[in-house]
A and B are shown apart, each in its own frame.
Chain A
């Protein structure tokens, strides 16, 4: 069997999510090809060649792929699809955007957000915001799959696969990129951080999120937020952890002033160790926390920062 994995990157670096997607591909079993479609993305191509257990890297370097526009990337993947039984991408906003378009063009179903591979046609995925876990069998001969990367470990990167450059340009010409407004941060990505500290409605306002900064600095943590905090306008939407935001599974997750709505739990309950700090002893977050502290966060946070 042959598997095509579409690399997640920003034209300069290969995202760790790709390594986890490759690891899902390994569980399916077969020859794995990694596709890097981008613009001026040679560094990504080189990094992709180092990913273990892949046979080759296909590099498509063209301006049409610079912003991963769904119309263009999906046509490219469909051009390449004949050679593969499985097509995989990470279930991040890029893959979620173009993969269903690939599936429909190939006239096959997509299996979204898999967290486990049972065999080459059967997969496990959460439904109802993680309140039920479905085992789904694909009946199509080609399988288009997005991978929830928190379910898989990253594969190693000490390989050296062959690189093949392809000059296929698929520019649909119906969409174009205007601008990006990306959050600048010195901190690690939410999805990749080993420690995440998140604030909820209990933070009371956006300024108070600075109380998390010192702790995040000491722990090398990313800072997240609950949907309530985002909806209240405390922090931007890309900080949201939850079913409709980022799904994270760090070694340590610290929830501060977060009550623990189902929506939020769906985004963090696979973390290894969960700490909850909340002044309400009845908050549902304590039911999933390994360590709970009932305390006023405005006293607890400065104390935690000073003692770390």
Chain B
């Protein structure tokens, strides 16, 4: 079984983002970038399925300029077999990303597509579901456990009240939640090996999709800062303040 894992290059999760002084966007100049943490979990899950003998080939794909090859190489070092970069300088809405991925799905015909549930930059949580809609596949979002059984996949999902388990017909789409697995670190020999694995570049313009933006970013501002409050010495003082000053308990 072939599995496709779309991944995204984003700001490293340890870096605190700054808003540009002109409020046009966030400032990513000279910022450390990394593979989106949820995408890394997706790669790890694919690798585990391959190690378990369920999956025969892992293809990773990323959409962006050539800098995202760095993240594709990371995924190859983690265990993916080959990579595709869809080359574009444009910043694309999730719908346009899903349309480009749909073309790769048509070419590669994977039985399973694993994506991160959201990227930690735009926080949209859309691409996997949109790709499922465009390909007509079933979706198992926010997965904390997956099990392939014959031509079906069991997906346990993290939902508001607890966990929900669904069974989906393959081919299907899974999006990862945090507790699906803990990604491994790439070993040095694997990092070296990854440099020789195939990476194909396809210009986005080759797919003849109308990639016109559907949304316009008008401004980006820093969030309202909460003022630090007061430090209290005793629990008695705390109860007194909550009762008489904040009036949130009686």
Point out residues on A near B: beta carbons under 8 Å. Answer: 10, 67, 69-71, 74, 92-94, 96-105, 107-113, 122, 126-140, 172, 174-183, 191, 195, 219, 227, 230-231, 236-238, 243-244, 246, 251-252, 262, 269, 272-275, 281, 286-295, 300, 303-304, 307-308
In the complex, the chain A residue whose C-beta lies closest to that of B178 is A244
Residues of A within 8 A of B234 (CB): 293
- Please, how many residues of chain B have a CB less than 8 angstroms from a CB on the other chain? 79
In the complex, the chain B residue whose C-beta lies closest to that of A308 is B239
Residues of B within 8 A of A180 (CB): 159, 161-165
| CB contacts between A and B, total, < 8 Å | 252
Cβ A109 vs Cβ B162 within 8 A: no
Residues of B within 8 A of A104 (CB): 95, 98, 129-131, 133-134
Residues of B within 8 A of A289 (CB): 228-229
State which of B19, B142, B239 has its C-beta within 8 Å of the C-beta of A97: B142
In the complex, the chain B residue whose C-beta lies closest to that of A275 is B238
Best-surrounded residue of A93, A100, A177, A288 (most CB of chain B within 10 A): A100
Shortest CB distance B41–A (Å):
11
Residues of B within 8 A of A101 (CB): 129-130, 132-133, 139
In the complex, the chain B residue whose C-beta lies closest to that of A220 is B249
With A103-B126, A109-B93, A300-B235 known as contacts, the answer to whether A94 contacts B142 (CB < 8 A) is no
Point out residues on B near A: beta carbons under 8 Å. Answer: 11, 16-17, 19, 26, 93-95, 98, 118, 120-134, 136-142, 144, 154, 157-169, 172, 177-179, 213-223, 226, 228-236, 238-239, 241-242, 246, 248-249
Cβ A127 vs Cβ B139 within 8 A: no
Residues of A within 8 A of B179 (CB): 230-231, 237
Residues of B within 8 A of A252 (CB): 242, 246, 248-249
Mostly, the B contact residues are mixed
Residues of A within 8 A of B241 (CB): 291
A201 to B82, CA, bound (A): 39
Cβ B26 vs Cβ A292 within 8 A: no
Cβ B249 vs Cβ A100 within 8 A: no
Cβ A183 vs Cβ B161 within 8 A: yes
Cβ B214 vs Cβ A138 within 8 A: yes
State which of B140, B216, B232 has its C-beta within 8 Å of the C-beta of A292: B232
Cβ A175 vs Cβ B169 within 8 A: yes
Cβ A103 vs Cβ B95 within 8 A: yes
17 contacts between A and B (CB under 8 A): A94-B160, A107-B95, A109-B95, A113-B123, A133-B221, A135-B218, A136-B215, A175-B169, A181-B165, A238-B160, A275-B238, A275-B242, A287-B228, A289-B228, A291-B242, A304-B235, A308-B249
With A238-B158, A273-B248, A291-B230 known as contacts, the answer to whether A132 contacts B17 (CB < 8 A) is yes
Residues of B within 8 A of A272 (CB): 246, 248
A133 to B222, CA, bound (A): 6
Cβ A133 vs Cβ B232 within 8 A: no
3 nearest A-B pairs in the assembled complex, by CB-CB distance = A109-B214, A100-B129, A290-B229
Cβ B154 vs Cβ A178 within 8 A: yes
State which of A67, A74, A246, A292 has its C-beta within 8 Å of the C-beta of B231: A292
